[in-house]
Amino acid sequence: MTEYDVIVIGAGAAGLMCAAQAGQRGRRVLVVDHAKKPGRKILISGGGRCNFTNYDVTANNFLCENPHFVKSALAQYSQWDFIGLVATHGVAYHERDHGQLFCDDSAKDIVNLLLAECDQATINQRYRCEVHDIEQEEAGFRLKLNGEPVRCQSLVVATGGLSMPKLGATPFGYQLAEQFGLKVLPTRAALVPYTLHQEDKTRFADISGVSVPCSITTESGVCFSENLLFTHRGLSGPAVLQTSSFWQPGEAVTIDLLPSESLKDVLVAMRDKHPNQTLKTSLSRLFPKRLVEVLIARDSLPDKPLKQLDDKQFDQLHHYVHQWSIAPNGTEGYRTAEVTLGGVDTHAVSSKTLEARDIPGLYFIGEVLDVTGWLGGYNFQWAWSSGWVAGQHV
């Protein structure tokens, strides 16, 4: 029977990082994946340019039932370590808003970087490989790979979450955790667009494609100021994706379409200066024209010169623009979600090594764990940090 020191299940971001590190420590490593090639999510991430980390990473950028859990791994392998690795491989990158770092050319550069790191050691890789019949033995694990029995001392579960089943996402990691008696916290699609009730969908049908800066606040009081995008299915854009991780079904969100100014003050100032300017023209200086139509139609406001509108009408519009409450019908679910909330309970896993506390030799890394980053490169940073740390201990 073929024996390895380490078998990593999942050749995604976390699994490849872990395999490379373990291999560079001289461990005999096999990384397996049921997909036909490695890093498929990396390749489509960040619109093809992979938002691979962020200049500003703290534990506050992650959702986890055990809020201190991420600290150790993020400290052991930080964003600066990964940025250094990117520079070593000569990958060109740039910064966008909020400290987000993207490849200049292609997300392929990140997959190639990981594969080059694997090539610095002899890492065996097997694709289109199904894993079955995992059993614990005295000195490790026995499992079947496409029916062939193999053994390893350390087994690393890096099978990710449930988002994008088309790209090979499966609940394998959760099932394995449960097989070994680890708790799995309920999962839910996150960083995902909202869908709308039919009435709202009809109301916004004509503004599909319109994008505006805004602030969105959830009922739990979490607020993100970024862009909102109206789509033919509902609401998307970074502000929506961010809040979706904190939103609970049945709740409403409050959207402020003009977060940096008071609409009433702006309209009053415009009325003083340009009393004959119509409401539509005035609003068009603040919002895209197609959105203005929706704003006016909603409150049945007349498109009259500003001097003919009273403060009550301004108040009405002010309230709508700054406190537009909308109850999403749901989300687009795992089909389009970037990540999965919940997963393997981190209380059962060492934050210092990523090894299961009660199952020596079994490791969980990346998104399969109950660790979910904000939008902005945090999910990849978690994959790099947790993969690197496990790679030092397997």
Binding residues for ligand FAD, rule: CB under 6 A, are: 9-15, 33-35, 40-41, 44-46, 50-51, 131, 158-160, 163-164, 168, 170, 172, 338-339, 366-367, 377-380, 383
Cβ atoms 235, 194 nearer than 8 A: yes
The Cα 394–Cα 27 span in angstroms is: 8
The owner of tokens 């969980």 is 364
Cβ distance to ligand FAD smaller for residue 114 or 359: 114
In the complex, least distance from residue 264 CB atom to ligand FAD, rounded to whole angstroms: 38
**Closest residue by Cα to residue 363 from 4, 6, 2:** 6
- Residue 140 or 377: which CB sits closer to ligand FAD? 377
For residues 13 and 20, what is the distance between their CA atoms, to the nearest angstrom? Answer: 11
Smallest distance, ligand FAD to C-beta of residue 303, A: 41
Number of other residues whose CB lies within 10 A of the CB of residue 377: 28
Q: Which is nearer to ligand FAD, 187 or 379 (CB)?
A: 379
Q: Whole-angstrom Cα distance, residue 322 to residue 358?
A: 51
Closest to ligand FAD by CB, 37 or 304? 37
**In angstroms, what is the minimal distance from the CB of 142 to ligand FAD?**
17
Q: How far is the CB of 143 from ligand FAD (least distance, A)?
A: 11
In angstroms, give the least distance from the CB of 215 to ligand FAD: 22
Q: CB 110 → ligand FAD: shortest distance, Å?
A: 10
Residue with smaller CB distance to ligand FAD, 77 or 380: 380
Sign, CA dihedral 201-203-206-211, equals negative
Q: How far is the CB of 45 from ligand FAD (least distance, A)?
A: 3
Q: Which residues contact 194 (CB under 8 A, 6 or more apart)?
A: 234, 235, 236, 240, 244, 247, 253, 328, 329, 330, 331, 332
Q: What gap in Å lies between CA 352 and CA 370, rounded to an integer?
A: 16
Q: How far is the CB of 46 from ligand FAD (least distance, A)?
A: 3
Nearer to ligand FAD, 46 or 328 (CB): 46
Question: Please, what is the minimum distance in Å from the beta carbon of residue 74 to ligand FAD?
Answer: 13
Cα atoms found within 13 Å of the Cα of residue 252, Cβ hemisphere only:
7
Task: For ligand FAD, give the closer residue by CB, 145 or 257.
Answer: 145
For 50, list phi and psi in degrees, rounded to 5: 50, 105
Instruction: List b or e across 72-97, with b for residues whose CB sees 16 or more CB atoms inside 10 angstroms.
Output: bbbebbbbeebbebbeeeebebeeee
Contact between 326 and 255 under an 8 Å Cβ cutoff? The reply is: yes
Q: 10 or 238: whose CB is closer to ligand FAD?
A: 10
In angstroms, what CA-CA distances link 343 with 7, 33, 122, 330? 21, 20, 31, 20
Q: Which one, 128 or 183, has the nearer CB to ligand FAD?
A: 128
Q: Which residue is nearest to ligand FAD (CB)?
A: 12
Q: Shortest Cβ distance from residue 98 to ligand FAD (Å)?
A: 12
Distances (CA, A) of 314 to 280, 301, 303, 310: 13, 10, 12, 7
The nearer residue to ligand FAD, 26 or 149, going by C-beta atoms, is 149
For residues 332 and 278, is the Cβ–Cβ distance under 8 A? no
Within 10 Å of residue 150's Cβ, how many Cβ atoms?
18
